[in-house]
Chain A
Amino acid sequence: MQPFTKHTGLVAPIDRVNVDTDQMVPKQFLKFLTREGYGRVLFYDWRYLPGEKPNPEFVLNFPRYKGASILLARANFGCGSSREHAPWAILDYGIRAILAPSYADIFYNNCFKNGILPVTLSSEQIDELFDRTQKNEGYRLTVCLEHQKVTDDKGLKYSFTIDPFRRDCLLKGLDDIGLTLVHESDIAAFEKKNLHVPAMNSPLDVKYHQS
Chain B
Amino acid sequence: MPARTLYEKIWDAHVVREEPGKPSLIYIDRHLVHEGTSPQAFSGLKSAGRKVRRPELTFAVMDHSVSTKNRALPLLDPDAVAQFDALARNCQECGINLFDMQSRNQGIVHVIGPELGITLPGTTIVCGDSHTSTHGALGALAFGIGTSEVEHVLATQCLTQFKSKTMQIDVQGRRPAGVTAKDIILAIIGKIGIGGGNGHVAEYTGEAVRSLSMEGRMTMCNMSIEGGARAGMVAPDETTFAYVEGKPFAPRGKEFQQAVEYWRSLATDSGAKYDTVVTLRAADLAPMVTWGTNPGMVTQVTSRVPDPSSFSDPVDRKAAESALVYMGLQPGTPIENISVDRVFIGSCTNSRLEDLRTAARVVSGKHVAKSLKQALVVPGSRVVKAAAEQEGLDKVFRDAGFEWRDAGCSMCIAMNDDVLPSGERSASTSNRNFEGRQGKGGRTHLVSPAMAAAAAIEGHFVDIRKWRGAEGVE
**CB distance A106 to B249 under 8 Å?**
no
Decide if A74 is an interface residue (CB 8 Å cutoff): yes
**CB distance B228 to A76 under 8 Å?**
yes
Decide if B163 is an interface residue (CB 8 Å cutoff): no
Task: Provide the bound-state CA to CA distance between A28 and B251, in Å.
Answer: 40
**CB distance A187 to B77 under 8 Å?**
no
**CB distance A165 to B195 under 8 Å?**
no
Decide if A35 is an interface residue (CB 8 Å cutoff): yes
Task: Provide the bound-state CA to CA distance between A110 and B249, in Å.
Answer: 32
Decide if A20 is an interface residue (CB 8 Å cutoff): yes
Q: In the complex, which residues 121-165 of chain B have their Cβ closer than 8 Å to any Cβ of chain A?
A: 121-123, 128-130, 144-149, 151-152, 155-158, 160, 162
**CB distance B198 to A104 under 8 Å?**
yes
Decide if A205 is an interface residue (CB 8 Å cutoff): yes
Tell me the interface secondary structure of chain A in the complex.
Answer: loop
Decide if B216 is an interface residue (CB 8 Å cutoff): no
**CB distance B319 to A17 under 8 Å?**
yes
| CB closest chain-A residue, reference B10 | A200
Q: In the complex, which residues 73-107 of chain A have their Cβ closer than 8 Å to any Cβ of chain B?
A: 74-76, 79-84, 87, 102-106
Query: Of B27, B29, B121, B152, which contacts A176 at CB under 8 A?
Result: B152
Decide if A113 is an interface residue (CB 8 Å cutoff): yes
Please count how many residues in chain B sit with their CB below 8 Å of the partner chain's CB atoms. Answer: 87
Q: Which one of B397-405, B433-441, B456-464 contacts A?
A: B433-441
Residues of A within 8 A of B94 (CB): none
**CB distance A177 to B151 under 8 Å?**
yes
Residues of A within 8 A of B148 (CB): 84, 110, 113-114, 176
Residues of B within 8 A of A17 (CB): 315-316, 319
Interface flags, B78-120, vs A, CB<8A=1, else 0: 0110110010000000000101000111000000000010101
Q: Which one of A60-68, A147-155, A191-199 contacts B?
A: A191-199
**CB distance B27 to A204 under 8 Å?**
no
Q: Which one of A3-11, A51-59, A132-140, A178-186 contacts B?
A: A178-186
Residues of A within 8 A of B280 (CB): none
Residues of A within 8 A of B318 (CB): 15-16
**CB distance A187 to B158 under 8 Å?**
yes
Task: Provide the bound-state CA to CA distance between A33 and B255, in Å.
Answer: 41
Decide if B25 is an interface residue (CB 8 Å cutoff): yes
Decide if B48 is an interface residue (CB 8 Å cutoff): yes
Residues of B within 8 A of A203 (CB): 56
Task: Provide the bound-state CA to CA distance between A135 and B474, in Å.
Answer: 57
Q: In the complex, which residues 241-259 of chain B have their Cβ closer than 8 Å to any Cβ of chain A?
A: 248-251, 255-256, 258-259
Assess A27 versus B120: contact at CB under 8 Å? Given A18-B195, A76-B228, A82-B130.
Answer: no
Residues of A within 8 A of B436 (CB): 22-23, 26, 45
Task: Provide the bound-state CA to CA distance between A59 and B196, in Å.
Answer: 28
Decide if B230 is an interface residue (CB 8 Å cutoff): yes
Query: Of B99, B128, B440, which contacts A209 at CB under 8 A?
Result: B99
**CB distance B250 to A199 under 8 Å?**
yes
Query: Of A32, A33, A79, A202, which contacts B228 at CB under 8 A?
Result: A79
Interface flags, A147-177, vs B, CB<8A=1, else 0: 0000000000000000111000000000011
**Chain A nearest Cβ from B155, distance in angstroms:** 5
Please count how many residues in chain A sit with their CB below 8 Å of the partner chain's CB atoms. Answer: 63
Residues of B within 8 A of A74 (CB): 315
Assess A106 versus B146: contact at CB under 8 Å? Given A26-B436, A186-B16, A197-B262.
Answer: yes
Query: Of B17, B29, B149, which contacts A200 at CB under 8 A?
Result: B29
**Chain A nearest Cβ from B38, distance in angstroms:** 10
**Chain B nearest Cβ from A45, distance in angstroms:** 5
**CB distance A209 to B103 under 8 Å?**
yes
Residues of B within 8 A of A186 (CB): 16-17, 25
Decide if B338 is an interface residue (CB 8 Å cutoff): no
**CB distance B440 to A45 under 8 Å?**
yes
Interface flags, A16-40, vs B, CB<8A=1, else 0: 1110101100111011111100000
Interface flags, B307-339, vs A, CB<8A=1, else 0: 000000001101100100000000000000000
**Chain B nearest Cβ from A23, distance in angstroms:** 6
17 pairs from A and B in contact (CB 8 Å cutoff): A17-B319, A18-B195, A20-B294, A26-B436, A30-B64, A31-B77, A31-B83, A80-B432, A80-B434, A82-B129, A176-B148, A180-B152, A180-B155, A187-B16, A194-B27, A200-B29, A209-B105
Q: Can you add 14 more A-B contacts, CB < 8 Å, to A22-B432, A80-B130, A80-B432?
A: A22-B435, A31-B80, A79-B294, A83-B37, A84-B40, A106-B145, A113-B148, A180-B156, A180-B160, A183-B17, A198-B262, A199-B259, A204-B118, A209-B103
